[in-house]
Structure 1
């Protein structure tokens, strides 16, 4: 691979060697590619849920079996995110993202060759292994192009790719399934993944913000590493993992079971259900875009990162969990749909924020590994929620009762995680205790109001 010229180093206010110059054009080109990467990622995730009913009908499988197929996606998801995170400091982000997306395309092929449960499981396991590192590693790649203080908007845009993926996939994939059968959706996503891989290989690059500035490293005696045990036991990382766990529970339910719930329990046509899913994703997208300017404004006013990023992510997950507990018992359909939108969209605020708060307490050289750890533990609901829901649907007195039990369980998990996040995330305090060489993206550096 040809070496890439680094942006020129600049002098800081003291006249010493500091951070590289910010290459705005290249940074936003990479951002656009990474947002597209996330759109493809979440389209791949959502296709099984959108095709759930025709797959269960054609293959004659139960809710429990479908739930296990859906959960098989997460068998290697967390492990691969963890492993790749530790190698991220040694392997170029350009290579990592290229290989991941290439495998996504290949993972869609088994079910096109043999339409059977084993082929579905094999494809989902492979897809999960390749997508496990996707969010943390693409965020890590993004942070290489933006210095601290400029990461709010790109972080929100990266996470908004999840909302855009579902927003765009729901109508398009539903149309493909209705017109050409469910296999056509898998084929279309395979081609899309392979095309993105080719574009990224020729256009994608690694940015310069991968290490602390030269002067800072020298003052630290050449080492800015913090023992991982200390990182993982600090309140900010624990709270960040908690918010990711609660938000991921809602996301897993949304991808695996919400399409089926809308069609079977609310008696919607496939097109109407797809429109509702797109509306929920659009709501999530608007929330994510509105998030960045609010955080930047709070930072300019000297608000601590705990209040601008820590407490909001906890409240978002808890608020979504409360709506999750309530909507099954609401009679009027419009009100229920509003609560469904809150339950399955508001939690998305936690995703960019939990990366920002975790990044605030870790040295840049360990950021990829910590992101992998946070993602591995925070996304475990993908393994638990779909299969538990399938089991509840098969054992409850009725499907309606099974869904209600599943949503109640999700509500308990989400509210508990939201409370933990709001109470534990204190970036300034923990960064000072750990000696992490990270500038907080806003505020006076104090966690107190």
Structure 2
């Protein structure tokens, strides 16, 4: 369904555009729905990792095969995010998010019919294709309801849906698996996706803040369009993609392998492992909520996005990388768990901030497409990290050595990409060069 064109905004006395009225009540209702959308999204992603042990035992599959099943999720993930991004200016966010979540529910069904490796792979490929555009398109939908200077908190809440999804999913899905078998978790998530789709269809609408900035001259604002080649080659976009790439590597390893690592290497019960994963997610959630008001306040006070959003996202990924490199070699269990929390929690700061810095250098009419491109490239680790980790586990001298190698590799990727982000993200400079400042 094509989106209806927004009515023209009124002009002020100088011939510029008046800013749309900020509808606080509707904006926060849409935010709540989108946060719930992200909770379901990340519960869907994490269910395979939480059920890894029972699935591997029942189907008698190796670490490498399980890693390939996990990576199947990302086969179409980036491509679908890229393609849908280019359609986002022509199709309403209401239709896009409704269709995506409906497909999530359908993707959980094949394994309920026949529990086998092919159906697991098919379901994960379909789920990845449907979830590829989820984060960028829901962020795009959110930005339509909030003006610049008010986006930090809603952006953080949207991304925090990932932490909440894991926080809620870890104990609930683990309970379902232990009490009713691993198939029950897939069934419950399918029903949840269908319910959210119905609610969104009636309550989700596009907001008014998809227009040029206030007081922009109509002719100029309407005609600004930057070639995508220039956008992708500018330092801010490259740095934003780099920080997302490093953070996504940690997330890919976490979702596919952290539950198994806690159970096999630290001898934790399923319930204890679920509690640790929930604690890491709670830590990530707290960081996101603490960061967002600071970013909004700094932005409104005129602090450049480089220092309020660019440098922090790079440093967060680097810090998580250092912890990732350290914790496999620490003997003390409390210290190791603390480092695991830093390694798999602090990187989440990069996700809302990399969208904010990328959005600063692109015209509003091209924002959805750029978000799709950024997500497609920044989330490629979802295809690489799980399968590579499984391969290392099967080929290393021991399972413990395999985990150590995979974590050290993740650390190297994260430190390198975080460094690129710190050095390259300069939104004010690049926006000026693009002619969109």
- What is the TM-score of this pair, normalised by structure 1? 0.95
Q: Which residue of 2 aligns with 1:445?
A: none
Q: Any unmatched runs of 5+ in structure 2? A: none
**Counterparts of 1:63-74 in structure 2 under 5 Å?**
63-74=63-74
Deviation at 1:291, TM superposition (A): 0.8
Q: Is the 8 A contact 2:44 2:189 kept in 1?
A: yes
**Counterparts of 1:258-269 in structure 2 under 5 Å?**
258-269=258-269
Using the TM superposition, name which of 149-158 and 6-15 deviates more: 6-15
**CA distance in structure 1 between the partners assigned to 2:238 and 2:57 by the alignment:** 42
Deviation at 1:304, TM superposition (A): 1.3
Query: Deviations for 1:129-177, whole angstroms, at most 9, x for unmatched residues?
Result: 0000000000000001111111111000000000000000000000000
User: Counterpart of 2:19 in 1: which secondary structure?
Assistant: strand
Deviation at 1:3, TM superposition (A): 9.0
- The number of equivalent residue pairs is 437
**Counterparts of 1:72-111 in structure 2 under 5 Å?**
72-111=72-111
Q: Any unmatched runs of 5+ in structure 1? A: 438-449
**CA distance in structure 1 between the partners assigned to 2:240 and 2:420 by the alignment:** 9
Query: Deviations for 1:238-266, whole angstroms, at most 9, x for unmatched residues?
Result: 00000000000000001000000000100
CA RMSD across the alignment: 1.7
**CA distance in structure 1 between the partners assigned to 2:214 and 2:329 by the alignment:** 59
**Counterparts of 1:280-291 in structure 2 under 5 Å?**
280-291=280-291
Query: Deviations for 1:306-358, whole angstroms, at most 9, x for unmatched residues?
Result: 01100000000000000000000000000000000000000000000000000
Deviation at 1:85, TM superposition (A): 0.2
Deviation at 1:99, TM superposition (A): 0.2
- What is the TM-score of this pair, normalised by structure 2? 0.97
**CA distance in structure 2 between the partners assigned to 1:392 and 1:377 by the alignment:** 24
Q: Which residue of 1 aligns with 2:431?
A: 431
Query: Deviations for 1:422-447, whole angstroms, at most 9, x for unmatched residues?
Result: 0000000000000125xxxxxxxxxx
Q: Is the 8 A contact 1:7 1:22 kept in 2?
A: no
Deviation at 1:4, TM superposition (A): 8.1
Query: Deviations for 1:65-98, whole angstroms, at most 9, x for unmatched residues?
Result: 0000000000000000000000000000000000
User: Counterpart of 1:210 in 2: which secondary structure?
Assistant: coil
Query: Deviations for 1:37-78, whole angstroms, at most 9, x for unmatched residues?
Result: 000000000000000000000000000000000000000000
Q: Which residue of 1 aligns with 2:191?
A: 191
Q: Which residue of 2 aligns with 1:241?
A: 241
